[in-house]
Amino acid sequence: MLYIMTGYYDYILGLIPLTLLGITGTLTVAGLQLTTAVPMAAGMAALLTGHALFVNGPSSPSPARLDEHAGPNAADAPSPSVLDAD
């Protein structure tokens, strides 16, 4: 069974091109020139990107989650073998 999990950043990545095309098309049909509509739509896409980066930014896993997935410590790891070039 295929499990698809869409999250906030998946929606943001989909909304950026939709915003650029949708707002540009809507403003152009409404009577604005293309040279005015494109920067306005790009501003909205930039706001979406800024929100995703700074307001609801990606977070690093908590220290407890890091310990679950971490491998052996450097002190526990075997010492590297010496490679002889001869």
Q: At residue 36, does pLDDT exceed 80?
A: yes
Closest CA to 61 of 53, 70, 73, 49: 70
> Can you tell me the mean pLDDT for 22-44?
96
Rounded mean pLDDT of the chain? 79
* Residue of higher predicted confidence among 16 and 66: 16
Domain-wise residue ranges, the chain: 6-53
Q: Would you tell me how many other CB atoms lie within 10 Å of the CB of residue 19?
A: 20
Kindly report, residue by residue over 58-71, the tens digit of the pLDDT: 776 655 555 555 55
State the number of CA atoms in the 13 A half-sphere of 4 facing the CB.
2
